[in-house]
């Protein structure tokens, strides 16, 4: 049987990352199969990837319903409910945390050289180093896994934020995608 091309690339030192995340693959064994058979060593996400996953699946319905029920209780108690962005972030951080758990063995066996899952700061904060750092800290704390990377846009403000985040011990990667104002 011919050797898997991705495994061959991995064998010569290439890290294989999937530019996608979907709750179905986290729960149906697909991600574990790709880690095992295709030498997958990391995964990246961004708001567009999550939008596609949400639109193409009902795998998020249960968590959305639970969050809406909690919101209804909050409203009854005259407390502010979740904004649409907060709901999105709840779904996103849940998937990234779960994906980090799937990659934990890769992270461990490579002593932190691989096995990461990235999560991107909101495009709405990309023009402010302070807001980028604040959101990155929140995402880092919410996901709470050593193998999460917070993705920061490669803007002048992003470069300032990256320096600060690295100094705090937060894993970062940089995206060339500038979401604009």
Give me the active site residues, please: 151
Q: CA separation (Å) from 177 to 17, 106, 139, 142?
A: 17, 27, 19, 24
Query: What burial letters (b/e) apply to 133-142, b meaning 16+ CB within 10 Å?
Result: bebbeebbeb
Distance, in Å, from the CA atom of 99 to the CA atom of 37, rounded to the nearest integer, reads: 17
CB 149 within 8 A of CB 117: yes
**Strands (DSSP E) along 2-120, which ranges?**
16-18, 40-43, 116-120
CB 3 within 8 A of CB 10: no
């Amino acid at each position: 049987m011919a050797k898997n091309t991705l495994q061959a690339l991995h064998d010569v030192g290439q890290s294989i990352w999937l530019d996608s995340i979907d709750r179905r693959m986290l729960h149906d064994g697909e991600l574990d199969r790709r880690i095992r058979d295709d030498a997958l060593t990391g995964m990246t996400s961004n708001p567009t990837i999550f939008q596609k996953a949400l639109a193409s699946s009902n795998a998020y319905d249960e968590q959305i319903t639970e969050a809406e029920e909690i919101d209804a209780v909050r409203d009854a108690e005259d407390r502010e409910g979740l904004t649409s962005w907060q709901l999105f972030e709840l779904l996103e951080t849940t998937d990234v945390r779960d994906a980090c758990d799937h990659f934990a063995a890769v992270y461990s066996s490579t002593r932190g050289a691989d096995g990461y899952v990235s999560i991107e700061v909101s495009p709405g904060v990309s023009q402010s180093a302070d807001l980028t750092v604040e959101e990155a800290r929140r995402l880092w704390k919410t996901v709470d896994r050593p193998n999460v990377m917070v993705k920061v846009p490669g803007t002048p403000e992003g470069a300032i934020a990256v320096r600060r985040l690295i100094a705090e011990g937060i894993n970062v990667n940089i995206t060339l995608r500038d979401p604009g104002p």
